Amino acid sequence: MAHDERTARASAEADRGRRSEAWKNALTVIQEARPPVVPEGAHAMTVIVEFPPGDPGTPPHRHFGPAFGYVLEGEMRFELEGEPERVIRAGEPFWEPGGDVIHYQDGNARTDVPVRFLVTMMCLPDKPMLVLVGDEELAQRGRLRAPRPS
């Protein structure tokens, strides 16, 4: 047996004795959801979104596929059609079903620090990742928006 081969075997045997058990407790589930069926040809896209202090975020919009997110820093003002507005803080997850649901808010809830969040979206074939919703449609669907605090 060549010297290099003996050294490699000895190294592999030593590594087996030093394997970590940390992986057994390394997983923390932060959210689970049942998304709608994803059609053939869809793809996933993961992005990081950053808004400066006090920024209102993306205007009302929708995603054609589900989106799963996690706030990395700061606090995000989050509102989906039919749900009350809420604040999601760093370390908390969020998700939206996509499709016809309007995403009203994803802006920075704080005026003193930026907000950063990570989102993984299922993008449908031949559809943009995000489309803005016009004022006319917002007015037509106003009854579907949850009551807002005065």
The contacts of residue 75 (CB under 8 Å, 6+ apart) are: 87, 88, 89, 90, 108, 109, 110, 115
What would you report as the CA-atom Rg of the chain, rounded to the nearest whole angstrom? 22
Task: Please report the pLDDT score of residue 37 as a whole number.
Answer: 75
Quote the pTM value. Answer: 0.79
Question: Which residues of the chain fall below pLDDT 50?
Answer: none
Task: Please report the pLDDT score of residue 5 as a whole number.
Answer: 73
Residue 140, classed as helix, strand or coil, is helix
- How far apart CA 137 and CA 90 sit, in angstroms, is 32
Instruction: Please give the torsion angle defined by the CA atoms of residues 29, 88, 82 and 106, in that order, rounded to the nearest 10 degrees.
Output: -120
Phi, then psi, of 77 in degrees rounded to 5? -85, 125
Task: Please report the pLDDT score of residue 137 as a whole number.
Answer: 95
